[in-house]
Every structure is written in C-alpha cells, then in structure tokens.
Homo-oligomer: A and B are copies of this chain.
Amino acid sequence: MKLVTAIIKPFTLDEVKAALEQLGVLGMTVSEVQGYGRQKGHTEVYRGAEYSVDFVPKIRVEVLVDDAAGDKVVDAIVSAARTGKIGDGKVWVTPVDTVVRVRTGERGTDAL
C-alpha cells in the first residue's frame, strides 16, 4: 500500500475530492498547513490579496491506496489541483507497511 500526500491550494479541495470520488477512492484525511516553495510565498495570492509573508495557507490531503491505484490517484490530484499559477502544490508518495480498519480489525487492502 501507499500513502499519497498532497499540499494544495485550499480552494481546489472540492475539485480534488470530486476527482478522487470519480476514481472510487473511498476515504481521505485533510488538515490545515502553511508552506512555501521556490518563491518563498512572496508572490502567491491568497483570498484576493498578495500574501506578504513567507507562509501561505494550504491544505494537506492524505489518501491511503493500494499499490495499483497509486499512479492514477497522483495524476487525478495533480490535474484537479492545477491552476497553472505558482504555488499550486506538491504531491508525493510514500510506502506503507500495514493498514488496519479500527472497527473490524481488517488489515491490508481490505482495510482501505
């Protein structure tokens, strides 16, 4: 299994969610983060104003997927989160040894 993590612009979350649902992805976890990339945030626009500090608010999206779905999930997030402007975000994939569904104790891909 894999964990796909994406740092995206907050206003793209609905599109990212819809794209994942279209792929049949059944769960996700989101949280609020702040960050900057190569331009140090200086020229990114947030809520209509240029953001004058380094850190710009972003959303982290995390999706546990089986190995076979990893590439499709990455591509779906990348295209749903893309506006073409700087600061659109990063997506990365990390290995996962085990997943367990707490309610049932199911493990592995059955737990997704």
Q: Which residues of A are at the interface with B, using a C-beta cutoff of 8 A?
A: 1-3, 6-8, 17, 26-38, 54-55, 58, 60, 64, 74, 77-78, 81-103, 105, 111
Number of copies: 3
Residue on B with the closest CB to A14? B54
Find chain B residues with CB under 8 A from A78 CB. Answer: 100, 102, 105
Chain B residue, CB-CB nearest to A101: B90
- A82 to B100: give the CA distance in the assembly, Å: 12
Give the docked Cα–Cα distance between A25 and B89 (Å): 16
Q: Contacts A31-B33, A32-B31, A37-B26: A91 and B100 contacting too (C-beta < 8 A)?
A: yes
A8 to B101 CA separation, bound complex (whole angstroms): 10
